[in-house]
C-alpha cells in the first residue's frame, strides 16, 4: 500500500495548540473501513449507488485534530 502525501503539520489556527494527524472514518459495504474522500463538484443522486461519482476527482481526506480545543483541519491530497 502506498503512503499518502502528508500535509504540513502546523499549530492549531484557532488557539495555537498542538495538532495530531488522523482521518475521518467511513463504513463501507461488507463492514470494511475506509477514509472519507473529498469529491469534486456538487453531489448528484444515483438510483443505484446513492451518489454518482462518474469521473469526478476524488482525494483522501486527512484531518488534524487540535489537542487543546478539538478544532479539525482537513486536507484533501
Nearer to Zn ion, 14 or 26 (CB): 14
Nearer to Zn ion, 40 or 72 (CB): 72
Beta-bridged to residue 59, according to DSSP, are 38
CB of residue 72 to Zn ion, shortest distance in Å: 10
Spatial distance between the Cα atoms of 64 and 75, rounded to a whole number of angstroms: 8
C-alpha cell at 3: 503512503
Nearer to Zn ion, 53 or 73 (CB): 73
Neighbours of 66 (CB within 10 A): 19
C-alpha cell at 40: 469534486
Residues contributing to the site for Zn ion (CB under 5 A): 12, 14-15, 17, 66, 68-69, 71
CB of residue 62 to Zn ion, shortest distance in Å: 17
Amino acid at each position: 500500500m502506498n503512503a499518502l502525501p502528508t500535509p504540513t503539520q502546523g499549530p492549531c489556527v484557532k488557539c495555537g495548540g498542538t495538532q495530531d494527524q488522523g482521518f475521518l472514518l467511513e463504513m463501507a459495504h461488507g463492514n470494511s473501513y475506509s477514509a472519507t474522500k473529498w469529491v469534486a463538484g456538487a453531489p448528484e443522486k444515483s438510483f443505484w449507488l446513492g451518489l454518482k461519482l462518474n469521473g469526478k476527482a476524488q482525494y483522501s481526506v486527512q484531518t488534524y485534530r487540535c489537542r487543546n480545543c478539538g478544532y479539525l483541519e482537513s486536507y484533501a491530497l
